[in-house]
Amino acid sequence: MAATIKMVAELAGVSVATVSKYLNGGNVYAENRIKVQAAVDALNYKVNEVARSLKTNKTNTIGILAPSIQSIFITGVISQIQYKLLECGYSTLIVDYQMNDDLEKRQLDILLKRQVDGIVIFPRENEKDLVNTIKDQNIPVVTVDNMLEGIACDAVLADNMGGAYEATEELIKHQHKRIGIIAGPAYMYTAKERLKGYFRAHEDYFIGLEEELICYGEYTEQSGYKCFNELMNLREPPTAIFVTNYHMTIGALGAVNERNMKLPEELSLIAFDQLEFASIMRPPISVVEQPLKQIGEKVAEIILRRMKEDWRDFPHIERLKTTLKRTGSVAGNIIK
């Protein structure tokens, strides 16, 4: 049976109120401080956060609603959020909805029932209702890696357009004119932004866009594989391909192997996302990396501010710079 504040008070010979004040850093006679601390030690007392939460109406917990916890992007960001929040005395309740709409609702419900003080959500597409539900309860919410259009909500994401622009530009500068893109689902904000970066780079360098060079995948390995083959089966295949996320890159590289193609001689390739294995591929894969740490830090910072009722810059949209890692998967003469 765990010790309670009452037991501590009795052992120390003071009132419960005094113990509470001591524990929360209030003014207590030096003499009593010692007695209370002795009792705490003797009983190995630990405050019951459940009771505290009920009384204070604050759980010091923020919920994180993620589509999956098996993606390095997501866990990297979450890990950083956790770390930052921990410093400020907050815990995180992470729930994973396995890309399933129903489960997502249930999981959000759980977070709400547990009275989390704030929510971080990695939306996929249609969670406007969810976000509104949360806002209705006056719970701060920050979205990550996506923007829910037509809704006022803080959001933190990578500069997807900028990153995609940089990737495309890198290919263009290597003299590529026919650049294929394996894009994400047309309804996803990040996918749209990445595509936009690809478009802009073409415009800026006066290269015409070819419809057939744009293939929409589903951010999955299978679709990456399929799109890659579609692009390479064109009458006039691209000389370079930009793959816009991790899983599709795996699929595309599988197809590269199957076709026994040599990178970068036969094809230049550049990817978007965190690729732990990028450096050990032969050749290493050039990649536009997202700033995981900074994203996590920014999310934590914003949600902490909101929980302190600081709404000055609401809604805040933060786009963080990506990093292009140039390695050996892009070939061609460099112009410029």
Partner DNA sequence: TTGAAAGCGTTACCAT
Partner DNA sequence: ATGGTAACGCTTTCAA
Binding-site ranges for a second copy (CB under 8 A): 2, 46-51, 53-54, 59, 68-70, 72, 75-76, 78-79, 82-83, 86, 91-96, 98, 106-107, 109-110, 112-115, 137, 250, 253-254, 256-257, 276-277, 279-282, 284
User: Of these partners, DNA, a second copy, none, which one is at the site of residue 282 (CB under 5 to 8 Å by kind)?
Assistant: a second copy
CB-CB contact of 248 with 217 (8 Å):
yes
Binding to DNA in span 54-93, by CB under 7 A: 54-57
Question: How near is the Cβ of 21 to DNA at its closest, in Å?
Answer: 6
Count Cβ neighbours within 10 Å for each residue of 226-263 and write b for 16 or more, e otherwise.
Answer: bbbebbbeeeebbbbbbbbbbbbbbbbbebbeeeeeeb
Question: How near is the Cβ of 121 to DNA at its closest, in Å?
Answer: 24
User: Of these partners, a second copy, DNA, none, which one is at the site of residue 96 (CB under 5 to 8 Å by kind)?
Assistant: a second copy
**Does the protein bind DNA through residue 6 (CB under 7 A)?**
yes
Contact with DNA (CB under 7 A) among 34, 41, 48, 70: 48
Cα separation, 286 vs 291, whole angstroms? 16
- On the CB side of 209, CA atoms within 13 Å amount to 15
Closer of 284 and 315 to a second copy (Cβ): 284
Return the structure tokens found at 276: 């732990």
Q: How many residues bind DNA (CB under 7 A)?
A: 27
Closer of 45 and 225 to DNA (Cβ): 45
Return the structure tokens found at 27: 């003014």
Return the structure tokens found at 216: 């929409």
Q: How far apart are the first and last CA of the chain?
A: 74
- On the CB side of 309, CA atoms within 13 Å amount to 0
Return the structure tokens found at 290: 């997202």
Question: How near is the Cβ of 333 to a second copy at its closest, in Å?
Answer: 25
Contact with DNA (CB under 7 A) among 10, 52, 177, 218: 52
